A and B are shown apart, each in its own frame.
Chain A
Amino acid sequence: MTAPSPHSVIGTRFARPEAAAKAAGRVRYVSDVEVPGMLDASVVRSPYPRARVLAVDTGEALAVPGVVGIYFASDLGEVH
């Protein structure tokens, strides 16, 4: 039988390398990032569990001051 390598970590305790930074709140998550010109976005889903979306009237939403745009899956091309 081969002797265990002195470099093996199997069976030993080790600290997660990122644990201290996470516990101290020093890790940045996506929601912590701010870039110039960043806008807020909100996903709107169908309120009906089983239905076909035939049309969406965006008129009232677009009229709200500050609304920059409303996008649909079809605007994403092949991405989705």
Chain B
Amino acid sequence: MSVHLRVNGESYEVDASPFATLAEVLREHCGLTGTKVGCAVGYCGACTVLLDGRPVHACCMVVGDCVDATITTVEGVRDEPAGATVVEAFARHGAVQCGFCTTGFVMSAVGIPEAACRSRGTVRDYLVGNICRCTGFAKIVDAVCDVKGVSQ
């Protein structure tokens, strides 16, 4: 069945079941492998993408529910208002170890509403849907606090 998606400003017409997961379609049909599948059950957040600007676990969305949405993956993150800044902050702060969870964290960080973060604790709350098995959380929170102007 043909599914039409709008991802990173481009149109994709893919031959997929509407019940396929968004993560699977992005990776295998659109070739956008920057979105990772870690646990595939919505715990780890490696698959986080923006759906109409809101971070979602792409492994838990069926693609049929995404046809009217504007989807942003890490490949298009630089076109988001805070995108480039977040990517650069992660690199600058060394908030990257093996890197498998990183794009999910980047997308969650980009999806944090403007001026929502008042404290390091708030930043941590917004990143609760992402897990880093290298356990490099401190530098990840440092990077996001830096971008959001939260004093350390």
Contacts and interface: CB of A to CB of B under 8 A. Distances in A.
Given A15-B94, A19-B94, A27 B88 contact: no
Interface residues of B, number: 24
Interface in B83-138: 87-88, 90-92, 94-96, 99-100, 102-103, 106
Interface string A14-38: 0110111011111111011000000
B34 A25 contact: yes
Overall SS of chain A's interface? loop
Interface string B6-44: 000000000000000000000100000111110000000
B99 A18 contact: yes
A29 B87 contact: no
A15 B96 CA distance: 10
A14 to B, nearest CB: 9
A19 B91 contact: yes
Contacts of A32: 27, 33
B28 to A, nearest CB: 8
Interface of B: 27, 33-37, 73-75, 77-78, 87-88, 90-92, 94-96, 99-100, 102-103, 106
